[in-house]
Structure 1
Amino acid sequence: MHFHCYSWTGIGDDQRREGERRPPLPPGDLAAFRASPLPPMRTCDWLLKPADRIEASPRTVDEALTWLAERYRAAEPSFLHPAGEARIGLDTRLANARESLTGGVDVQWGIWLTAGRFLTLNTTCCTPNRHAPYPCPRS
């Protein structure tokens, strides 16, 4: 197993456009889903997005955690509720992410930023992913 890391920062209210965030069922033409910049509703569906959306492809849990920590720290100055985030803390987030990724479970962090923006940080398990039998987007 390896991982793919994705992020999205945008206007938080845009996430209400759920139709763009769900691949078609039954599987059909994925063009609209793949073209949408919005993060998918299910973490595993990131693997259906174009490979150029992948920001990193860690081979180990430690590498994935490093990516998450770097992106979190870069966003800290823009947190809408820094005191609330401090109550959770990066250490707790990373400990939970380690447990999840080690067990083959995707990690998704969502954080409100200033000016109505929202940050999504995602690390998705790839080949295999326990929630969908998608091929690796880089194969």
Structure 2
Amino acid sequence: MTGTSGPPPGLSVDRWLCGPITVLDLAGSLDAVDALRPYLVPPLAHRMPMIVVDLTRLETVAPEAFEMLADACRHADEAGGRMIVVTRPGTAPDTPDLILSSSMEGALEAFVIPGRGGRHRSRDRAAGGVQQGDGTAPPDPGGR
């Protein structure tokens, strides 16, 4: 019998839409980077991908997962979209292409509020704003 495989044991992935934004909500342990690929590839294939990946409910994250997420952020940007990773403060390494938010609300607002995106790092961090892994403002898709 042939079927689709789900996430590996220990990882839960909920996919939902918020308008045109694909949200991947992860829980458990992300020990194998390849476990996330089947969930990221379809939304990244869109013309202007808009994706939020929420890691706040993960207990463990493989270090190489952040590099893969940075690559996905770069791909989304090159395709005219954006991908934002929601993490607890201080849990993600400094990775230039990784666009981070400390809250789901801040990540979703970054798609709809022009100019939102880490320019005022301390204010945005307190408000759950968005910043790149290196603390700079992320690119604004569509030149908004």
The TM-score with structure 2 as length reference comes to: 0.25
Larger helix percent: 1
Relative contact order, higher structure (CA 8 A, sep 6+): 1
Q: Give the TM-score of the pair, scaled to structure 1.
A: 0.26
- The structure that is strand-richer by fraction is 2
